[in-house]
Structure 1
């Protein structure tokens, strides 16, 4: 079964943690110094927030699937939609390991389709390379993803 995904950038994680914990009437499933995630069943939603220095607001939308086969089928639908699709296999991002497909809708809204298969101890695989700048999980445009090979590649943030 698919789960809708929303990732927001927030200015102050503690304030947002309090607000969304009260709104959803439950504690987040994951809490880190710069990130929190709620896995809700009603509505079926993966809602994540991060305080990584990016402009507050919607960072990206997405669909989380339960298997690699479902991700492949979703990839076929993304291809049929006519936008560029950038695969990101075995990504470490947002304290998780996942296979991902990134695209943009015609307005430029980033969409992340993914299958998570494990946890990670860092926000993204290159955190050590960007120790002076918090990692941001949201992908750049698909062309940039294809050229860097990762949603959170240092080249997108560590200048």
Structure 2
């Protein structure tokens, strides 16, 4: 089953955790020094925030799926529509290891579609770049993204 995903970069994590906990009526499912995530059931949303480098605001949207079969089905759907995408197998970001792919809508909004495999102890280490820097999380390096994707994103 798909879960809608939203990742927002915030200037102050503590302040934002208080706000979103009140808004959602729930404490985060995951809470780190630089990251928080709510796995909501009504509506079915994976809402993540991080206080790391990047422009404050909505960073990317996406779909989290429960299996690699669902991920493959969505991948085929997007490929059939001639949408450019970047695939990442075993990506390590946002305290999780995932198989995923990235695309970008015509307005420039990055979309992440992924299946989480396991939790990891670090914010991230991208499978395409072994560095454990803030720049390494989630999206492939800007130079490897097709022209239609255009900007780097952080994971959630």
1:57 corresponding residue in structure 2: 57
Contact 2:91 2:138 in 1 (8 A): no
1:21 corresponding residue in structure 2: 21
- State the shift of 1:137 in Å: 3.8
How many positions carry a matched residue from both structures? 146
1:156 corresponding residue in structure 2: none
Q: Which has the higher helix share?
A: 1
Taking the aligned partners of 1:128 and 1:90, their CA distance within structure 2 comes to 12
1:39 corresponding residue in structure 2: 39
Q: Unaligned regions of 5+ residues in structure 1, if any? A: 153-159
Structure 1 segment 1-159 matched on structure 2, within 5 A: 1-125=1-125, 129-130=131-132, 134-135=134-135, 137=137, 139=139, 144-145=144-145
Taking the aligned partners of 1:52 and 1:136, their CA distance within structure 2 comes to 12
Taking the aligned partners of 1:78 and 1:141, their CA distance within structure 2 comes to 21
Taking the aligned partners of 2:102 and 2:142, their CA distance within structure 1 comes to 6
Q: TM-score, length-normalised on structure 2? A: 0.84
Taking the aligned partners of 1:75 and 1:88, their CA distance within structure 2 comes to 12
